[in-house]
Structure 1
Amino acid sequence: MKSSRRSFLITSIGVATTVALSKQAFAADATKVSESDAMAVTLGYKNDATKVDKAKFAKYVAGENCHNCALFQGKATDAFAPCPMFGGKQVSGKGWCNGYNKKA
């Protein structure tokens, strides 16, 4: 009975490790939004918020970026994270788009 329990634990640890590594690999390979994507063009997305066309997107205010947007699905320190505005594709934390919504 002890060997069955030991085998189960070893197998469980192996499976958990494989799943964790797979998630990391998937996150690393996640598609990043390109400024030339149709939705990015429509929303005025820029990888660097300081390069937003202020004449075209008057809503933009200096200091706004994806890091402090409520839609940014990562930590404030993440360079890139998913955004629902772009179907879960990764946006730059330093980026901005017209869908910006300040975090509460």
Structure 2
Amino acid sequence: MLMSQPEHVISRRRFVQMVLLGGAAAVVLPAAAQGDALPPLSGSDPTASALAYTEDAAAVDAKRFPQHKAGDTCLSCNFYQGKSARGACSLFPGKSVAGKGWCSAFVAKA
């Protein structure tokens, strides 16, 4: 006579599958969050144009954007989610921005 297991008991096979899938997600998700797997933001992107995004903060026109200060870069912005040369930005979903870049929506990290 076969006895059924309670619904909350996980089979060994299912447990191994869950561990492997979880491990794969742990490897893939941080890379995507850092922007490593994201395509670079194009200067012709409508949102990039509207926010005057530039790949190099040193090239920002100080007369047009007097709020820009030396040292204001995507790396030091609250919206930047990366920690390296390129990273994700919550203002430009699905694209990566340059860490040394800048846009007019810049907000310094607290």
TM-score by length of 2: 0.71
Task: Give the aligned partner of residue 44 of structure 1.
Answer: 52
- 5+ residue gaps, structure 1, are none
> RMSD in angstroms over aligned alpha carbons?
2.5
- 5+ residue gaps, structure 2, are none
Question: Which has the higher Rg, Structure 1 or Structure 2?
Answer: 2
Task: Give the aligned partner of residue 90 of structure 1.
Answer: 96
| 2:87 partner SS | strand
More helix, by proportion: 1
CA distance in 2, matches of 1:12, 1:87: 29
Task: Give the aligned partner of residue 23 of structure 2.
Answer: 17
Counting aligned pairs with the same residue, the percent is 33
Are the counterparts in 1 of residues 89 and 97 from structure 2 also a CA contact under 8 Å?
yes
Task: Give the aligned partner of residue 53 of structure 1.
Answer: 61
Are the counterparts in 2 of residues 30 and 89 from structure 1 also a CA contact under 8 Å?
yes
TM-score by length of 1: 0.74
How many pairs does the alignment contain? 100
Are the counterparts in 1 of residues 36 and 87 from structure 2 also a CA contact under 8 Å?
no
